[in-house]
Structure 1
Amino acid sequence: MERLAGMVSERPVVIFSKTTCGMCTTVQALFTDFGVHPAVFELDVVPRGREIEQALSRLGCSPSVPAVFIGGKLVGGVSEVMSLHLNRSLIPLLKKVGALWV
């Protein structure tokens, strides 16, 4: 959990993903389309990825990926991110944490 906390504090937007996850790719593309450059950790590639995935599960991420953190706080997975986007809350949140300057 300590390692996870350090990772999510490194950048305004952090996404935990897997290279084989289509929804992970979709979430990453959404942020990229906005001009946001999230830190992306592919759990099937990074060292100790399985441990990180277990920590995400303990935080309540189900499924464990994609797991999106904005401003160091867990937002959730694809459903939560898309809900924020559809109710027009995502852009203001990204601006607030300094991930977007538009």
Structure 2
Amino acid sequence: FNPRQELEHILSTSPVVIFSKSYCPFSKKLKHLLKTEYHITPEPLIIELDDHENGKELQQHVGETTGRFTVPNFIVDGKSRGGADDILALHDNNELIDLFHQWSTGSAKIKKLGTEK
């Protein structure tokens, strides 16, 4: 198993990736927020590290690469943009959409459900 190659493959698959663990309450909170409040195109790729055959090694490499060893790890355009608390705070302050557009540089789009923006 080569964690570097695996991470490169994952990041090449989608501009928006969430590294998560299926049982983690913070991961569940972030995934729920993004699914119920926003429409992201293309849809985020969710990697459940506890279900991944080499999840521990992959999580270690993701941490070494992004500086975030914990989950959830919200990646946009190959860079960690934070965990649940970070993204929830941006949502609560109505800053997530504007920052997401800056982060994605056009590779992905986000809009609040129920709005045209």
| % same residue | 31
TM-score for both structures, normalised by structure 1: 0.81
Residue among 36, 39, 44 paired with 1:35: 39
- Show structure 1 runs of 4+ deviating over 4 A: none
CA RMSD between the two structures:
2.0
TM-score for both structures, normalised by structure 2: 0.72
Size of the aligned set, in residue pairs, is 101
Distance 1:71 1:57, change over 3 A: closer
Distance 1:8 1:87, change over 3 A: farther
- Structure with the greater alpha carbon radius of gyration: 2
Residue among 10, 13, 17 paired with 2:13: 10
- In the alignment, structure 2 segments of 5+ residues that lack a partner are 112-116
- In the alignment, structure 1 segments of 5+ residues that lack a partner are none
Residue among 49, 57, 63 paired with 2:55: 49
Which whole-Å CA distance do the structure 2 matches of 1:94 and 1:25 have between them? 20
2:51 alignment partner, SS class: coil
